[in-house]
Structure 1
Amino acid sequence: MKDLDFLKMICEAHAPSGREDWLYSIIEDNFKKFGHITMSKLNNIYIHKKGKTSNKIMIMAHADEVFLMVNEISGEGFIKFKALGIDPKSLVSQEVIIHGTEDVEGIVALKPTYNDKDNNVVKMERLYIETGYNSEKLNNLVKIGDYITLKRDMIELLNDNICCKSIDNRASIAAMYVCADELKNVNSDLDVYFVCSCQEEVGHRGAKMASYEIKPDIGIAIDVTFDGGKFGDSDRENKLGEGPVICIGPNVHPKLRNRIIKTADRYNIPYQVEVESGNTGTDAWDIQTAAGGIQTLLISIPIKYMHTSVEIVNLKDIRNTGKLLARFIQELNENELEGLFCF
C-alpha cells in the first residue's frame, strides 16, 4: 500500500481517546508484514520487529484524536455535547458522527441570538448537533456519553499538502509506516517496537503504560507541532515541507539528539529544530521518566490548524520523518549504546 493511501485510510477513520481499538484492524492489516502485532488491555497497539540483540528501541505515535461526547438529548431532538481539545469556533457548521448503537451523522449548528453583541461570541453552550431525528428516534440510537468525532474526507491540496481531520496524530502513524517499510529488509541490532499509543489527548496515559511494559533502551515519540508560516505560530520557525522537527530541551537526551542530527546530515534528509524549555506536551514527557528513566527523543511533524477538521500536513515531511527514523535505527549497534547514554 502507498503511504498516501494509508494516510487517507487512517485519518478518515475514527478513534477518540479510549477507543483506539477502533483502529486496530487498519493497523493490523497494514503493519502485519513488518512484525508481530498485539494490543494491550487499554488499547496500546504494538508492532514488534525482532532485532539481533536484546536491546530495544520504541517508536511511538499516539492513535487517539480530539473528540466530543453526548451530554444531553433535548426534548426537541437536539444533542448538546462536551468537547475535548477543540475550539468552539472551529466547530460551527462542521459535520460530525455520533457513535451510538449505530453511527448517526449530524451537523454542528450555532444557536441564533437576536442580540448583536452575543452574535460575535461563539461559546460551547450555544452549539448543538442537528441530526434530523426527533427525540424519540434519537433516544433509541444515542445515549449520554456516546462519542462524537469530526467527519472529513481527505483533500489533496497543491505542493504535496494534505488536509483532513485527525492529522494529529495519524500523520505520525503514517511516518511509522514509512519507517517500518524502509526497515522491512533490514536486520537491525536493536529490537524495534512501533507503538500506537492510547489516550495521549487526555494525559499521555498510553505512553506511561507502554514504557513500563516494553522498558526500551531508547524511546522516540513522534507527534505534530505548530507550523510557524503565514497565519501560523509566529514564535516558531517550523515550516511545512521543510522536514521533521527535532526537539531540543530537557525532555530530550542530548547525545541522542546530536546523533540523529548527524544521521540527517549524512543522508541529506532535511530537518528543522525546535526549542522546548519545559514540558513538551507529548508522549515524550512521560516516556522519559518511566521505568527508572528512558533516553528519549521527540521528532515532530509541522501542521497547520491543529485540533480542527482541516488540519494540513505536507506529505514530504511525513516521508522524511519515516526515512530519518529508519536510517537512525539501522545504524545503531549494541556496542555504542553505553557511550551514547552517558553524559
Structure 2
Amino acid sequence: MTSEIKDFLKDLISLPGLSGYESPARQRILHEWQPLVDEISTSPLGSLHALKRGSGDEPRPSILLAAHMDAIGMMVTEIVDGWLRFTQIGGIDPRILPGQQVVVHGRQDVPGIVVQPPAHLLPDEVSPRQTVEMKYLLVDTGLLPEQVNEVIRVGDLISFAQPPLELGNDLLAGHSLDNRASVAALTLCLRDLQRVRHIWDVWAVATVQEEITLGGGYTSPFSIRPDLAVAVDVTFARGPGGPSDYRTFPLGKGLTIGWGANIHPAFYRAIKETAERLDIPFHNEVMPAHSGTDAFAMQVTAEGIPTAVLSIPLRYMHTPVEIISLKDVQRTGHLLAQFIAGLQADFMEQMKWEE
C-alpha cells in the first residue's frame, strides 16, 4: 500500500463521524475522491455518491460499491455535578470503556476520560466482580460544573480519541477501522481504475448510518438504481480466546467473499473466479442469514439488486483498538478494480439465480 493511502486512512480514523453525524468523515472522503471521479454529490441522508463513468455505449450498466463511513460512539444523556452520563450510538461493549480517552463534541471539543466509580460507591446490586453497566459509567472532563454547563449539553456526541497506531507485519490499530478500512479499499479501487479501461459506470458510495439503521444502504441504491451492488465491510479476524471456526478468518491472509442469502450466486462466482485468476488470497465467508452489512438493505431495494459482499478481516471489532492488515485493504481494492475492468456490456444477461 502506498504511504499516501495509508496516511489517508490514518487521517480518516482520527476523525469523528458517528452514525447520523458523519460530516467530518464525509468531508475528508470528498477531498480524497473528487480528483478520481467525474461527478460527486451528497444524498439527502448524507451519503457520498461518486460516479466514475465507463467507456461503454450509453445507456451503460452500472455497479455500486458501498462502504459505510459512520462510526460507533456515545451521546451525553445527563450532566451530574460536572460529570457526564452517556448512552451508546451503535454497538459498544461496556467492558472496554473504563479508562478510554474520548472527545466530547459540545460547543467546543472537550477531552475526557471514561471512568468507573469505585465499588463501594456503586449500588449494592452491582457486583465489582462483574462488568459495570454503561449507565453507571461517567465521562470526566476535568472541568468545573459551571464550566461543563457552558460548553456541553445533553445530546452532545462523544467519540473515541485513540490515535492510530502502526504495528508490526503491516498492521494498523485504531478506532473506526470498521468500516473506514473499506473506504480506503474503495479509494484504492478508484485509483486503479484511473489506469485501466472499464465499460461499466462505477458508483463509489460512502454510506451513512449502517451501524444503526442501514439508512444509506437502503436509500443510495434506490436513488442510483445500479445493476449490481457490492457491500465492502469488515469481518471477524481470529484473535486470542475467540473461535477458530467458520466465523473468523486469519488476519493478513486475504479478504473474504460472502456466501449466503444476501448474495447473488452468479455474482459470487464471478468475483471468486477473478480472485482465483489473479492469485489474490481469499476465504469463503458463510453468511447463513443477515450478512450484518449494507448488503441486506441493497439487495431488497426497489425490484431487488444482485448483491455481493467483500470483507476485510478485523480484530477487536467495535473497540477503540480495532486491527486490520493494510495488505488485505490493498487486496480488496485491487480485486474490485480488476473485477470491474473485466465486466462486459452483456454481463447482466448471464446473471441467473442458480445455487
Scaled by the length of structure 1, the TM-score of the pair is: 0.97
227-236 or 161-170: which moved more? 227-236
Contact 1:295 1:341 survives alignment (8 Å) = no
Cα distance between partner residues in 1 of 2:209 and 2:125: 40
Q: Hey, what does 1:293 align to over in structure 2?
A: 304
Task: Give the AA of the match of 1:211.
Answer: P
* Distance apart, 1:116 and its partner CA: 11
Aligned match of 1:10 in 4, 9, 12?
12
Aligned-residue offset at 1:186: 2.4
Higher deviation after alignment, 106-115 or 267-276: 106-115
**1:119 pairs with 111, 118, 128, which one?**
128
Given that 1:232 and 1:304 are in contact with CA atoms closer than 8 Å, whether structure 2 keeps it comes out as no
- Give matches, 1:53-72, under 5 Å: 53=56, 54-72=60-78
- For residues 120-179 of structure 1, give each alpha carbon's deviation from its aligned partner in whole angstroms, at most 9, with x where no partner exists: 222112210000111211111111111111111111111111100001000000110111
Specify the alignment match of 2:244 in structure 1.
Answer: 234
The 1:95/1:188 distance shift into structure 2, 3 A limit, reads same
Give, as a single letter, the amino acid of the residue that structure 1 aligns with 2:24: W
Pair 175,232 (structure 1): closer, same or farther in 2 beyond 3 Å:
farther
Please name the residue that 2:197 is paired with: 187
Residue 260 of structure 1 corresponds to which residue in structure 2?
271
Query: Who is 1:94 aligned against?
Result: 100
Contact 1:108 1:129 in 2 (8 A): yes
Matched, 1:78 2:73: no
> Structure 1: which 5+ residue stretches go unaligned?
none
In 2, Cα distance between the equivalents of 1:103 and 1:131? Answer: 11
User: After the TM superposition, which residues 1-343 of structure 1 pair with which residues of structure 2 at under 5 Å, given as runs?
Assistant: 2-35=4-37, 36-53=39-56, 54-74=60-80, 76-84=81-89, 85-114=91-120, 118-121=127-130, 122-235=132-245, 236-341=247-352, 343=354
Instruction: Give the direction of change, closer, same or farther, for the CA distance of 1:51–1:296 in structure 2 (3 Å limit).
Output: same
**AA in 2 matched with 1:73:** I
Greater shift in the superposed pair: 116-125 or 183-192: 116-125
CA distance in 2, matches of 1:83, 1:160: 31
SS in 2 for 1:129: strand
1:189 alignment partner AA: I
8 Å contact from structure 1 (residues 200, 206) kept in 2: yes
Structure 1 counterpart SS, 2:351: helix
* 8 Å Cα contact 2:55/2:198 also seen in 1: yes
Tell me by how many angstroms 1:237 deviates.
4.2
Q: Which amino acid aligns with 2:51?
A: H
Aligned-partner SS, 1:106:
strand
8 Å contact 1:263–1:327 — kept in the other structure?
Answer: yes
Distance 2:140 2:351 in 1: 56
- Misfit runs of 4+, over 2 Å: 114-117, 228-237, 340-343
Aligned-residue offset at 1:273: 1.0
Q: Distance in 1 between matches of 2:239 and 2:100?
A: 25
Identical counterparts, % of pairs: 38
- How far did 1:227 drift? 1.0
Q: Do the aligned partners of 1:18 and 1:198 also contact (CA within 8 Å) in 2?
A: yes
Gaps spanning 5+ residues in structure 2: where?
none
**Take 1:127 and 1:48, find their aligned partners in 2: how far apart are those partners?**
44
Q: Is the 8 A contact 1:303 1:313 kept in 2?
A: yes
SS for the counterpart of 2:7 is helix
Partners of 1:18 and 1:117 in 2: CA distance: 33
